[in-house]
Amino acid sequence: MSALSPELMYFASRMSGFSTNVFKLETNNSTSATSNSIISVDLPSNSIINLRSFAMICKASANKTGTNNNGGRLPPIKDLIERVEVTMGGVVLSQGTNFTNVLCEAKKSLARDYTDACVGHPAYIRATSYVNPADVYTATANEDDGDNYYVVNEWEGFLGTADPMLFDTALVPPIRIRLYCATDNVLSSVNSVVLGTATGSFADSAGANATSGAPLPLTAVPATPPKYELTDIHFNVEAINLADMTYENLLAQQMGQNGDLEVPYKAFYTFVDTHTGSSKFSVASSSMDRIWLAWRGSDYNTVSPPITVGGHKIQGCFTDATAGAGTTLQDVGKPQYDIGGVLDTNNELYKGRYFNFSQPVLNSTPTVEWKAQIQLNGSYMPQFSANITELYQLSKNSLEGRAAHKEMTLDQYRNNSCVQCFRLNMPNSEYSRTLSGIDSRATNLAGVVRTENAGTGLLPNLNIFVECTEILNIGAGRSISVVV
């Protein structure tokens, strides 16, 4: 019977005595945070909690008290968190990856964006806020939606990938989560709200082409960069209850037979380098699953106007501001590709310089094709130096469920989303809780990222994220250990 399709079966499983509720968690320290702050919160003890439901709720503003009006603009709210650390009883279970916000944006460049459009602030605001349309910005006013709450509910590492996601905290020591805030450099700063890329416009890109991808807007770098602030910070989490002892007895029986319980989760190790043709990394892990490469220009840390994503609207298309008047014009923008907006480009779309990933070449259409591959000891991935198109295809094949973008152009991939992913484990092995990645614990692994034809004089910033599966072993008496 188990071999039959569920569509042919007539039955229903029943679970009695199940109940669920959502609880509000307060921080252990201040309810406000700014650049480089640490936010700490404890998860409920002796409860079965839904790790995927853990969410941070806060107000956010690029208009920190005492700062000048310098056109501050917020990125997606989750990008204000740079590192997530999880400890159990003071033991660091997951120290979190540095630049987790860069990792999130790198994943978004290739796969689906999980930022909630309602409460996650996914897009950059030019003149009129889509959070509160009553907020209309002029000149260099800082973005300040201080009356609205935002939510961060997608997490990398233990919180977002531990399996099972319904986690019994009675089995482990008290769990504490520390969130490390990013620097103010993740913000953008604008000189005006005028649509366009010319000098003095919202997405000013009239400066010299200093490195790669979008040019550095020398005319618009603020003398005093904006600063952000998070206020009224608190958390929500779902907890469930089972009326009988069936679940507890099942866990006790499994621990009696196996000696412990295993909880697999994803961990990421970060390596940052100024790439000059080769960049090295090394990780000792029982299951090294993927390697992510995120390329940024050497000016990534410069607070500047947002970058217009390739193909989307820039200045140059005018209509009457008042029907039939014919005297007052307003700029509604013209797409950079076909005038009708092929591939959904008939709209505005921006990226912050901190999160713009561009091909590390002297210009967007090099005469000699840029190529890359990685080397793991004596093995190469792929077995040839791959060009940008081959790297995209390889990356798409490396994603869980092959969930790549449907409407990203090659131009956008080169200049705004140049991220590569190399899968080293069995396809979709995460769904079956199978550890099939490279075991590098006894091999003294030496990894190298090699590129060709980047041109001279470039010093691109390369973020290497090594994705591994680690195991939390839970023993009797709330004892824990981690198998990396």
- Under DSSP, is residue 82 helix (H, G, I), strand (E, B) or coil? strand
Specify the DSSP element, H or E, that contains 395: helix 388-398
Close Cβ partners of 405 (under 8 Å, ≥ 6 residues apart): 110, 111, 417
Residue 222 has pLDDT above 60, yes or no: yes
What is the rounded end-to-end Cα distance, in angstroms, of the chain?
39
Q: How many CB atoms lie within 10 A of CB 271?
A: 18
Rounded Cα distance, 62 and 78, in Å: 14
Contact 318, 329 (CB under 8 A): yes
| Residues 148-190 pLDDT 10s | 899 999 999 999 999 999 999 999 999 999 999 999 999 999 9
Rounded Cα distance, 382 and 372, in Å: 9
Domains of the chain: residue spans and CATH: 16-312+348-483 (2.70.9.10), 313-347 (no CATH)
| Residues 339-387 pLDDT 10s | 888 888 999 999 999 999 988 887 555 567 899 999 999 899 999 999 9
Question: What is the residue-averaged pLDDT of the chain?
Answer: 87
Closest alpha carbon to 89 in 180, 182, 176, 216: 176
Tokens at 96, concatenated: 């979190």
Specify the DSSP element, H or E, that contains 250: helix 246-258
Specify the DSSP element, H or E, that contains 397: helix 388-398
| Residues 417-447 pLDDT 10s | 999 999 999 998 888 888 999 999 888 899 9
Question: If you write DSSP's letter for every residue of 260-308 in order, what string do you get?
Answer: SEEEEEEEEEEEEEE-SSEEEE----S-EEEEEEEEE-TTTTS--PPEE
Q: Which of 95-99, 201-205, 397-401 has the lowest mean pLDDT?
A: 95-99
Tokens at 10, concatenated: 């007539």
- What integer pLDDT is reported at residue 483 of this predicted model? 86
| Residues 10-45 pLDDT 10s | 877 777 788 899 999 999 999 999 999 999 999 999
Residue 218 has pLDDT above 60, yes or no: no
Tokens at 472, concatenated: 């939390």
Tokens at 451, concatenated: 């590129």
Which DSSP symbol is given to 214? S
